[in-house]
Structure 1
Amino acid sequence: MENFDAWIGKIEITPDLSNPRPVAMMQALLNEPNKQLTQLPHLYHWLYFLPIVNGEDLAEDGHPKKGGFLPPIPFPKRMWAGGRLQFLNPILVNQNIRRESEISKIDFKQGKTGNMYFVTVKHSIFADGQLAIIEEQDIVYREASNAAPATQVPVPAPIAVKQYSYKKTFPVNTTTLFRYSALTFNSHKIHYDRPYSMEQEGYPGLVVHGPLLATLLMHTFTQKHPNKQILSFDFRAVKPVFDFNEFYICGNLQSEEAELWIEHTDGQAAMKAKVTFKEG
């Protein structure tokens, strides 16, 4: 086990502008009309602060090579495992925005499918100098040698929450994955290169982006409850969704929070989330 504690506390600052074009493109991806919004919907800040990396600086998996801001963990399989967000102030369209990122934790764990590192990155996002969002992202790195193909991963127990305030589908296919990868400048091959995803990383197909699933959860909740002011959103990936899967976007509304989840047709949870809110 290699020690990467020297990377804890490393900081990166990225400026950007919340221009409206990515917002309109995301609305099109979600089959929504362009509503000429004045502020970013929740989680749309993921469309900004994108790393601009030359092709020669990409690793075999399509990600930017490690060793810049993120530690050079040698395990090749890396994915966004979940996150926690606090929404403090809105981000308006065409505002100057800034993201201050800090590596806050690096943990080594031994799992059933092999060794893993979990890297937690804390982002503080400012709009015209005012703190708007505090976010923690969990990134998991898995070694290749002991990682079983996704078809052999033990099936998790069915999701405990079975009371639905709503349950709906959203069609996701290879075109959806391509458009989301393009919109977020995400060149990770598991989302578009089927031979690589199956032969190199052991998946049965193309992997649906975790942030896209999280965005579908948030988007559907705000559609169903437009008058609720969202305070926080926590999400965790549980089981992959592939391009050939049908799945449901589910929510169970309670007094001051809601349980949200992505559910496979067999009842297994793919992503679990919680949103807290107050009446707007």
Structure 2
Amino acid sequence: MTDLDIDHLRQWIGREETKSELLTPAAVDRFNATFDFTGEPRDGDAAPVMIHLCLAPPAAPTAQLGPDGHPARGGFLPPVPLPRRMWAGGSFAFTGDIRVGETVTRRSTIRDVSVKHGRTGTLCFVIVDHRIDSNGREAVRERQDIVYRGTDSAPAKPAEPAPYGAHRRRVEPSAALLFRYSSLTFNGHRIHYDAPYVRDVEGYPGLIVHGPLQATLLVQFAEKLRGRRPALFEFRSLSPLFDDADFTLNAAEDGEALSLWTSYADGPVAMQGRATW
């Protein structure tokens, strides 16, 4: 078991960071190409939903990246001494439009840092709140739940196969798709694009499908089914997806909402979410 100095890590609570980026038509064009969308983006157009995850990302110098491609620990996020980090869950409240040609600003605050010890080992949770503005107008409120864990964590209990959604779409997690999304988000984490590394060093069966990519696909799916973007999308990650098999986007009516999830054809739920309008 790894000993964590939780009192030290909790000193990061309240820490803030602000980043901005001009949203150009070229950036929207690259986002649309990644997801096979068509159209000619122009200044003043409403930008596609979830593009905010690709704007003003952390940009650590290459020399400051660790062996896994992540920036060195510390800085805005607390220096949690556990090697594996994943997007455990969160929410997006879409309150306005991000528009092409406007400056998008993300204001981030560390809300909480906590440690849990359980059957699967030591886990450290960091909750981050983000407010995303477009030319000073609020567009998105986001909560990001990050979990850190050790490499010696006990395996989770086998999960039941996911149900088939009333609405269902197959996705091929091609190396090109995963690489392009890593590029859009300036994410150097090697588990998403370096197959020999992820198999030989991390011990996974294949490249890992990004949590933000899964969330983006589910929100896009919800938007397509209802004809407009949701007001709120809440989600949690339950199990990983790899590039060794296609996976599915699923949706089922849930009153006035939609329940959504990703899974392999006969595998467990990977990401579970709920969209409301």
Judge same fold: TM > 0.5, yes or no.
yes
Letter in 1 for 2:205: P
Q: CA deviation at 1:221?
A: 1.9
* Corresponding residue number in structure 1 for 2:188: 187
The count of aligned residue pairs is 270
* Corresponding residue number in structure 2 for 1:215: 216
Describe how 1:36-115 pairs up with structure 2 within 5 A.
36=41, 38-115=45-122
User: Contact (CA 8 Å) 1:77, 1:201: kept in 2 or not?
Assistant: no
* Corresponding residue number in structure 2 for 1:26: 31
| Cα distance change, pair 214–89 in 1 and its aligned pair in 2 (3 A) | same
| Cα distance change, pair 254–113 in 1 and its aligned pair in 2 (3 A) | closer
Letter in 1 for 2:140: I
Residue 28 of structure 2: SS of its match in structure 1? helix
The match for 1:13 among 11, 18, 22 is 18
In the aligned structure 2, how far is the partner of 1:198 from the partner of 1:229? 37
In the aligned structure 2, how far is the partner of 1:52 from the partner of 1:229? 29
CA offset digits 1:200-244 (Å, max 9, x no partner): 322111101111111111112222221x35210111111111011
In the aligned structure 2, how far is the partner of 1:147 from the partner of 1:237? 17
In the aligned structure 2, how far is the partner of 1:173 from the partner of 1:164? 23
Describe how 1:242-253 pairs up with structure 2 within 5 A.
242-253=242-253
In the aligned structure 2, how far is the partner of 1:115 from the partner of 1:189? 23
Gaps of 5+ in 2: none
Residue 217 of structure 1: SS of its match in structure 2? helix
Q: CA deviation at 1:163?
A: 6.7
In the aligned structure 2, how far is the partner of 1:40 from the partner of 1:257? 23
In the aligned structure 1, how far is the partner of 2:180 from the partner of 2:234? 25
| Cα distance change, pair 12–157 in 1 and its aligned pair in 2 (3 A) | same
* Corresponding residue number in structure 1 for 2:271: 271
User: Contact (CA 8 Å) 1:28, 1:34: kept in 2 or not?
Assistant: no
Q: CA deviation at 1:196?
A: 2.2
How well do the aligned residues superpose, as a CA RMSD in angstroms?
1.7
Residue 196 of structure 1: SS of its match in structure 2? helix
Residue 90 of structure 1: SS of its match in structure 2? coil
Gaps of 5+ in 1: none
Q: CA deviation at 1:35?
A: 4.4
CA offset digits 1:86-142 (Å, max 9, x no partner): 111111111112111000011101233321101010001111112221111011111
Letter in 1 for 2:32: Q
| Cα distance change, pair 154–194 in 1 and its aligned pair in 2 (3 A) | farther
In the aligned structure 2, how far is the partner of 1:123 from the partner of 1:65? 21
Letter in 1 for 2:206: G
In the aligned structure 2, how far is the partner of 1:271 from the partner of 1:229? 19
Q: Is residue 160 of structure 2 the alignment partner of residue 157 of structure 1?
A: yes
Letter in 1 for 2:239: K
User: Contact (CA 8 Å) 2:115, 2:124: kept in 1 or not?
Assistant: yes
* Corresponding residue number in structure 1 for 2:176: 175
Residue 204 of structure 2: SS of its match in structure 1? coil
Deviates more, 1:252-261 or 1:81-90: 252-261
User: Contact (CA 8 Å) 1:257, 1:275: kept in 2 or not?
Assistant: yes
Residue 178 of structure 1: SS of its match in structure 2? helix
Letter in 1 for 2:207: L
| Cα distance change, pair 229–31 in 1 and its aligned pair in 2 (3 A) | closer
What TM-score, normalized to structure 2?
A: 0.92
In the aligned structure 2, how far is the partner of 1:50 from the partner of 1:125? 13
Q: CA deviation at 1:76?
A: 1.1
Q: CA deviation at 1:13?
A: 0.9
Q: Is residue 153 of structure 2 the alignment partner of residue 147 of structure 1?
A: yes
